[in-house]
Amino acid sequence: MAFDGIVLAAVTAEMQRLMNSRIYKIYQPERREIVLHCRLPGASLPVVLSADPQSARAYLAVQVPDNPPSPPAFCMLLRKYLEGGRILGIIQPDLERILVITIENMAETGELAHYRLISEIMGRHSNIILVDSSNTVLDAINRVDSRVNRYREIVPGATYIPPPDQAKLSPLTLTWQGFLDRLAPAAPKARLSRLILDNFAGLGPVTAKEVVHQAGFNPMTLREEIDEEGLRVLYEHLLNLGKRIHQGKFAPQMLLDIDMRPLDISAIPLDHLDKKAQSFDSMSLAVETHFAHKLQEQKLSSWHHNLSRVIEGHQRRLAKKRQAQATALQEAEAADTYRIFGELVTASLYKIEKGMDKITVPNFYDPNQGEITIPLDPRLSPSGNAQEYFRRYNRAKKTKVAGLYQYNRTVDEEKYLEQVQATLDMATSVTDMLEIQRELAEEGYIRTPQKEKHKRTSTPKPKPLRFQSQDGLEILVGRNNRQNDYVTFRLGRLEDMWLHVKDIPGSHVIIKGHGRNIPESTLIEAALIAAYYSKARTGQNVPVDYTFRKHVRKPKGAKPGMVIYDHHSTLFVSPQVEIIRPLVERQLDDLA
């Protein structure tokens, strides 16, 4: 869900604390982000305004972004007109995604002047605009000239024109007749949630669906499927929403996915989504928390992309190397043929004269005693041809042994990089990314940054995931190869149970048995977790091998996370969301 008008209404209500505060500092930490440091007696109230196309927002901040050493031009202009000014008003016109902050400050002429700082939170059209008392644009964080928008220029000197009126009705002033005029003549096949979204201000797609859900209808219900009584019920719920907004009765929350990662924010409960939600005392705090996670996810996504490119590059290199090695092995398979040719030429020396390019002789290695034609080098003597075949035989035999060893090493390295890619795809934090990057550097796949080469810092202890089974047993899960080794060989005891998805990259899982027999219910839960934290997390009937930790070994020279095991059995599980969710909710704190 976007930062909709109801969320902004909740933020605007909280920003009333800024009334009569003074703006004493202004920062521009990002290209499209402004921080106003406001002060009241005994209180500092930072305000963040962002016009980022992907994360436009406005809120009272707890964590303040760093001040860049060199302020951009727009920041300098804001400081010129607004620093030292007093906030006189904070409004949101008609539940639109527009926040208007009115500031009184001393002008260069020595007289008091009024300015409006307008934050338009509208996706890729978002902007932050400074306007003077005559409604003239002094500047904007995103200038928009006539080449982009002929109707609405936002450049210094232009008259400020608000975004086009969408002619929506406000839930704050809604009447039955107004509601009926909009929905009664609507197209029969129009969805109710879409009608609510298109006709009433402040609601985003998700909140529009929630209004329909709260009225007792499916959000996909069509207009033709409800009568006037149904419309009356829908109107009452929309009217009640307007009353809640007017009275400031918001319920700030952040929706979470199955891995407890933030999905979205809302100022009202969203029961129709059936998602776990984290409640907040402040809408601003919910906004700040959500977008901090979102920005971190964007950073992680970029990080993931860069590391994936490194891995894919090495995988392409290894694929070519393996293909060449396979060709060499096929050629080496001719070793026995060279030996036979050498022996047959030796037995037929008396028939061969120098200059011959081939000879046909009986093949006494053939059970049918058929004849065989052997190519000869006319430049060599008869015995020289025999010795040449024996040299080829010895060379091919050595190539076959060494080549098979190198081929297997290449295949193992490909499996290792596939495992690294799988753990990279499951990484959810900066710590996860750092561990994977460090592992790739230690294995020689990427260079260690020059500034880190001189740092003599100890490697932090791995922190695998920890779960508690319904039987009270602890389940440990590695999130990357380094953690896999740590879980299996440092935390796992010989009598503990070890699990891993069969022949598929994924996490090592340990059930801490403490000498007890592992209940079948715990074993199934651990298998589900192993399947979920693997490349097969969306699969059905995923095979999961399990065996005692004492049967798991690390081959000499093997890369991190690579093991062999035996004496195992196999379970088949399907890690569906509804099954995994209760397990994820029993996740324990990280290991100390």
- pLDDT reported for residue 115: 97
Same domain, 551 and 577: yes
Q: How far apart are the C-alpha atoms of 419 and 413, rounded to whole Å?
A: 10
The answer, yes or no, to whether residue 592 has pLDDT greater than 50, is no
Last residue of a domain, one of 455, 478, 508: 455
* 287, part of any domain: no
Q: How far apart are the C-alpha atoms of 193 and 223, rounded to whole Å?
A: 10
Same domain, 46 and 100: yes
137-140/253-256 β-pairing: unpaired
Q: Residue 156, SS3?
A: coil
Structure tokens at 329: 């092995």
* 292, part of any domain: no
- What is the average pLDDT across 9-32? 95
CA 162, 166, 171, 175 dihedral sign is positive
Same domain, 355 and 473: no
Q: What is the maximum alpha-carbon separation in the chain?
A: 121
Same domain, 78 and 215: no
User: Which residue's structure tokens are 């060893």?
Assistant: 405
Domain containing 557 equals 465-584
Same domain, 274 and 320: no
525 and 470 Cβ atoms separated by less than 8 Å: yes
CB neighbour class for 99 (10 Å; exposed up to 12, middle 13-18, buried from 19):
buried
Find the CATH number of the domain harbouring 82.
2.30.310.10
* 580, part of any domain: yes
Find the CATH number of the domain harbouring 229.
1.10.8.50
Same domain, 440 and 353: yes
Structure tokens at 160: 């400020």
- What is the average pLDDT across 188-198? 93
* 86, part of any domain: yes
Neighbours of 485 (CB within 10 A): 20
- pLDDT reported for residue 364: 86
Same domain, 442 and 470: no
Tens of pLDDT, residue by residue over 105-120, are 998 888 899 999 999 9
- What is the average pLDDT across 401-424? 90
The answer, yes or no, to whether residue 6 has pLDDT greater than 70, is yes
Last residue of a domain, one of 455, 480, 505: 455
CA 130, 135, 137, 140 dihedral sign is positive
Q: 7-16, 366-375, 484-493, 527-536 — which is least confidently predicted?
A: 366-375
Model confidence at 84, pLDDT cuts 50, 70, 90, reads: very high
The alpha carbon of 498 is separated from its chain's Cα centroid by a whole number of angstroms, namely 28
- What is the average pLDDT across 334-350? 86
As a whole number, the mean pLDDT across the chain is: 90
> Measuring CA to CA, which residue among 467, 490, 483, 505 is closest to residue 434?
483
- What is the average pLDDT across 50-73? 90
- What is the average pLDDT across 333-346? 84
Model confidence at 77, pLDDT cuts 50, 70, 90, reads: very high
Greater model confidence, 568 or 463: 568
- DSSP per position, 27-55: EEEETTEEEEEEEETTEEEEEEEE--TTT
Q: 161-175, 227-241, 249-263 — which is least confidently predicted?
A: 249-263
Domain count, the chain: 4
The answer, yes or no, to whether residue 39 has pLDDT greater than 70, is yes
Q: How far apart are the C-alpha atoms of 393 and 338, rounded to whole Å?
A: 5
Same domain, 179 and 220: yes
66 and 90 Cβ atoms separated by less than 8 Å: no
* 322, part of any domain: yes
DSSP 367: T
Tens of pLDDT, residue by residue over 275-315, are 889 999 999 999 999 999 888 888 888 999 999 999 999 99
* 579, part of any domain: yes
Same domain, 577 and 495: yes
Last residue of a domain, one of 98, 117, 140: 140
Model confidence at 544, pLDDT cuts 50, 70, 90, reads: very high
- pLDDT reported for residue 474: 93
- pLDDT reported for residue 338: 85
Q: 36-50, 108-122, 215-229, 451-465 — which is least confidently predicted?
A: 451-465
Q: How far apart are the C-alpha atoms of 297 and 264, rounded to whole Å?
A: 13
- pLDDT reported for residue 145: 87
Q: Residue 99, SS3?
A: strand
* Own/partner long-range contacts of 314-321 (Cβ < 8 Å, ≥24 apart): 314/417, 314/445, 315/414, 315/417, 315/418, 318/410, 318/413, 318/414, 318/417, 319/414, 321/410
* 527, part of any domain: yes
Same domain, 26 and 126: yes
Tens of pLDDT, residue by residue over 384-393, are 999 998 888 8
* 149, part of any domain: no
- What is the average pLDDT across 232-248? 93
- What is the average pLDDT across 27-31? 93
- pLDDT reported for residue 538: 87
Same domain, 407 and 472: no
Q: How far apart are the C-alpha atoms of 202 and 419, rounded to whole Å?
A: 46
Model confidence at 8, pLDDT cuts 50, 70, 90, reads: very high
> Measuring CA to CA, which residue among 434, 443, 441 is closest to residue 462?
434
Same domain, 420 and 470: no
Model confidence at 453, pLDDT cuts 50, 70, 90, reads: low
